[in-house]
Structure 1
Amino acid sequence: MDLILIISILLLTGIIAGFFAGLLGIGGGFLMVPVQYMILVSTGMDPTVAIRVAFGTSLAVVFPVSCAAAFAHHTRGGIDWGAAVPIGCAGLIGGFAGGTLASHLPADILKPLFGVMIIIAAIRMLTGTPVCRGEKDSCLFSWTLLGAIIGILSGLLGMGGGILLVPILLLFFNLPIHRAVGTSSACILFFSTGGILAYIVHGLRVADLGAGYLGYIDLLQWIILTGTMIPLSRLGVGAAHRLPAERLKRVFAGMMVIIGIVMIGILP
């Protein structure tokens, strides 16, 4: 694939993923991973290595993008730090564990299952009602367990984790949609950190990658996607706080269904 075409595809991907990262409180990996994977395979890279590079690079992009989105949400009072800290700390450890698993296991076995899970979560978010209505302090253990589980999935599949975290915060912790989106952005900072460390550590052992890579992180893709997504994520944050809560929930659920279908049927 021609370098100019690759750069153009990555720029377009960054624009779309960045806007939705800010709008929906997710990392943007839902779009970056399949695009990066297809580009890498088209250049002749082994599919197993390519999917790991796509996961690692996606998380490396997610971190600075989520920093920008979380700061924008924080300035609007949209983050519940009492929930974000325990979820995020557990998720950091989980992210490292997930990245380690992905470096040793055929991750594509889990992609269809993850796609089904996302679709079920989307349906549940549209039709369900909040479950945990008590004081938030009583949910501390649940927050920690939630962070560990989603952190593992984040590291394993190269996604920020917000695609699952936002509906869970809505349904089981009774957070309003705008606050759930903002809190998710803060948690993704922790999730992605653990995963990034794992993909760097284990990728450094792969001699075939050569120059232009930091472990399983493709530095060219990282520069292009990060530079595009950060300003677009701030636009997405502004749009999120202007949209009515129910409309934002429907947009989020629609994106989840699309992502689930992609994860089930498109990535080999």
Structure 2
Amino acid sequence: MVIELALLGISVGALSGFFGIGGGTVSVPILLYLGFGIKEAIGISVMQMVAGSLLAAWIHHKKQTYVVHDIKYFGYGGIVGAIIGGFLVKLLQATVLEWLFLSIVAFTLGRLALSSPVPSRAEVVNRPLYSLIGGFIGIFSGMLGVGGSILMTPILVSFMGFPLKKASAVGLFFVMFTSVSAFITLLWLGMMNLQAGMIMALSSLIGIALGIWLLHRVHATHYKQVLVLFYILIFAITAYKLIAG
């Protein structure tokens, strides 16, 4: 099982570093297939996301992909939004939340597919607006248990003038806030398989470094094409699960 977890960690880490995602959408189903319970699988995935997002933030900071001084406000808003989302879960039906999430993802993906990988306008730098965007995405993170990067990247590219690769990196930075919060909560509730989580988390660091290395070497146009296809695949899988019940 150690080898399987290590290989999964490297693979998910590479996807996270390259696409700017948390990785839970990929890792949780595979962990279930390996025999872990759903709660264990979520905990292991969250532990991997914490390690991966922290390393990714450090690498992108060293490469000056973004300025943490500004984009940290996305995370601050995300923390508040996730709390609100947690309360909204009790007020709204799950089906309503899922369809609303899919509708927003479909809209933002459409915008991403039609946008240029090189922005045609100046990047918007507005900390209060960053907090609002982070809060909006954080609400869905709290309601649906997703990292939020699948919404973050298209929004930044389509509406905020962010270069595609930078937006992808910021999406993974945002995951750091939500995953750390989830890790603390799950650890406190005693739902964390620390041994399995540590194996996957440490091995994912190799994948994260590899994914970010590849991110900075692929052409922006080619990156957009691969990213859109990947997002469409994730969207289709999510939609199928919702429709199939």
Task: State the TM-score, normalizing by the size of structure 2.
Answer: 0.81
Moved more, 165-174 or 109-118: 109-118
Displacement of 1:248 after TM fit? Answer: 1.1
Alpha-carbon distance in 2 for matches of 1:10, 1:109: 35
1:136 pairs with 2:124? yes
* Residue equivalent to 1:31: 26
Pairing 1:55-204 to 2, within 5 Å after superposition: 55-98=42-85, 110-111=97-98, 114-115=101-102, 117-128=104-115, 133=121, 136-137=124-125, 139-201=126-188, 204=189
Task: Answer whether contact 1:28 1:159 (CA < 8 A) is retained.
Answer: no
User: Are 1:17 and 2:17 counterparts?
Assistant: no
Identical pairs, percent: 28
1:100-135 per-position Cα deviation (integer Å, ceiling 9, x unaligned): 777999868745654554344323201146999567
Q: Which residue of 2 aligns with 1:241?
A: 216
List alignment gaps of at least 5 residues for structure 2: none
Pairwise CA distance, 1:18: 0.7
Relative distance call for 1:197 and 1:93 in structure 2 (3 A) is: farther
Shift of 1:233: 0.5
Q: What SS does structure 2 have at the residue aligned with 1:179?
A: helix
Check conservation: 2:13, 2:205, Cα contact below 8 A: yes
- Whether the 8 Å contact between 2:119 and 2:162 is mirrored in structure 1 is no
3-state DSSP class of the match of 2:147?
A: coil
Structure 1's unaligned 5+ residue stretches are 205-213
Query: What TM-score does the superposition give when structure 1 sets the normalisation length?
Result: 0.75
Q: 1-side partners of 2:183 and 2:113: how far apart?
A: 32
RMSD of aligned C-alpha atoms? Answer: 3.2
Tell me the distance in 2 between the aligned counterparts of 1:241 and 1:116.
31
Deviation, 1:167, is 1.3
